[in-house]
Amino acid sequence: MSIILTNISKNFGKFAALNHINLEIPEGELVALLGPSGCGKTTLLRIIAGLEQADSGRVVLNGEDKTEQHVSHRGIGFVFQHYALFRHMTVFDNIAFGLRVKPKKHRPGEADITQKVHALLELVQLDWLHDRFPDQLSGGQRQRIALARALAVEPDVLLLDEPFGALDASVRKDLRQWLRNLHHELNVTSIFVTHDQEEAMEVASQVVVLNHGRIEQQGAPSDIYDHPANAFVSRFIGQTNVFSGDDQDTIWLQSSGLPINDKPGKTAHVRPHDIDVEKASDEASAHAVLKDWQHLGALIRIELVKNAADADNATVYAEMPNEQFKRLQLNRGDKVSLRIRNAHWFH
């Protein structure tokens, strides 16, 4: 089911949480709403769900205007950050809830409900917990039960509010993969909110970057990473080195091999992996001094200090594979020459 939002605005007092949002989400996508805290992403999700009312704008789900409709009639499944499981009910009753509150003529029989709940429990691989209460489960288990509960009513759209926010790192990694697979299996249009860019890039098929109540960019993860629309997106997604673009920096960049014909913007953003590092053969070809490095697993992050007369002492980061770094046999304080392959210019 497709989702179309037109001109959504929402104010909390004088604070504009959402500012004329226009967004179109095609059917079957797994979309991440990504942004720093306070950017309005959760508010937007709650407006789509009907848990919050927009001050202006329309919410159209599958071609139907649902702006005025109550949350219970929107055909959405919502997964809350803190699970919001019914703590007075067993896991089984939690999942069965959505089926049991259906109007009599649509309500399945108790046998069908039992069958369906067990099927869902198997889908989330937790059938053995069906008679436990939520308080007896771990965080990851609760989140999966919450998801099964939302899926029980066969929603047209699945909305997840920071689904992995309250979980520890290793559980989070597993669940990300699992959510991706589940989406492949069910193919229900899904939107999840996150402030973790890694999570968004890893799980989503489409990423929507929000900041200060506005959409900064929408696109596939690789698009957003390779072609950031503006300085905010470039800085928010992945690591980046920011150069001011004054004469000094420009000369330094140029000498480091970056071709600059009539400067296309005020600041240059360079990804750490777009910088090649070599041991400097002589004083003249040295662009920087190696200050320190860190192991990031397969990659090494190198901290460099620009080797220029009265340069600001800002650190420049470069990244290279572990093996390559070993071959270079670099030590702290070594003079290095650089080659900058690519930069994004922004105003």
Partner 1 sequence: MRKSYIMPGFKPTLGFTLVYLCLIVLIPLSTLFFKSMELSAEDFFNIITHKRVVASFRVSFTTALVAASIASIFGFIIAWTFVRYSFPGKRLLDALIDLPFALPTAVAGIVLATIYQPNGLIGQWLMQGFGVQVAYKPLGIVVALIFISLPFVVRTVEPVLQEFDSSMEEAAASLGASRLQVFVKIIFPNIFPALLTGFALAFARGIGEYGSVIFIAGNLPYVSEIVPLMIVTRLEQYDIPGATAIALTMLLISFVMLLVINLLQLWVRKRSGQL
Neighbours of 253 (CB within 10 A): 21
Quote the CA–CA distance of 231 and 211 in Å, as a whole number. Answer: 12
315-321/299-306 β-pairing: antiparallel
Residue 71 CB, nearest distance to partner 1 (Å)?
Answer: 5
Judged by CB, which is closer to partner 1: 3, or 233? 3
Does 1 help bind partner 1 (rule: CB under 8 A)? no
Structure tokens at 344: 């994004």
The interaxial angle of helices 91-100 and 110-123, nearest 10 deg, is 130
Does 101 help bind partner 1 (rule: CB under 8 A)? yes
Judged by CB, which is closer to partner 1: 82, or 227? 82
8 Å CB contact between 258 and 241: no
Contacts of residue 278, defined as CB under 8 A and 6 or more positions apart, other chains included, come to: 328, 336, 337, 338, 339
Beta bridge pairs of residue 9? 56
**Type and span of the H or E element at 146:** helix 139-151
Residue 99 CB, nearest distance to partner 1 (Å)?
Answer: 9
Does 152 help bind partner 1 (rule: CB under 8 A)? yes
Residue 101 CB, nearest distance to partner 1 (Å)?
Answer: 4
Beta strands in 205-330 (DSSP E): 206-211, 214-219, 241-243, 267-270, 275-279, 288-296, 299-306, 315-321
Does 92 help bind partner 1 (rule: CB under 8 A)? no
DSSP letter at 332 equals T
Residue 179 CB, nearest distance to partner 1 (Å)?
Answer: 18
Work out which of 149, 183, 271, 344 binds partner 1, going by CB under 8 A.
Answer: 149
Judged by CB, which is closer to partner 1: 73, or 105? 73
Hey, which residues between 72 and 91 contact partner 1 (CB under 8 A)?
72-74, 76-78, 80, 82, 84-90
8 Å CB contact between 236 and 221: no
Judged by CB, which is closer to partner 1: 93, or 303? 93
Does 153 help bind partner 1 (rule: CB under 8 A)? yes
At residue 82, the 3 state secondary structure works out as coil
Judged by CB, which is closer to partner 1: 161, or 216? 161
Judged by CB, which is closer to partner 1: 137, or 208? 137
Judged by CB, which is closer to partner 1: 151, or 316? 151
Judged by CB, which is closer to partner 1: 94, or 256? 94
Residue 154 CB, nearest distance to partner 1 (Å)?
Answer: 11
Quote the CA–CA distance of 272 and 318 in Å, as a whole number. Answer: 4
Does 107 help bind partner 1 (rule: CB under 8 A)? no
Does 59 help bind partner 1 (rule: CB under 8 A)? no
Structure tokens at 327: 């071959």
Q: What phi and psi, each to the nearest 5 degrees, are found at residue 311? A: -80, 150
Residue 96 CB, nearest distance to partner 1 (Å)?
Answer: 10
Residue 51 CB, nearest distance to partner 1 (Å)?
Answer: 5
Quote the CA–CA distance of 3 and 197 in Å, as a whole number. Answer: 23
Work out which of 18, 33, 45, 49 binds partner 1, going by CB under 8 A.
Answer: 49
Binding site for partner 1 (CB under 8 A): 49-51, 70-74, 76-78, 80, 82, 84-90, 97-98, 101-102, 133-136, 146, 149-150, 152-153
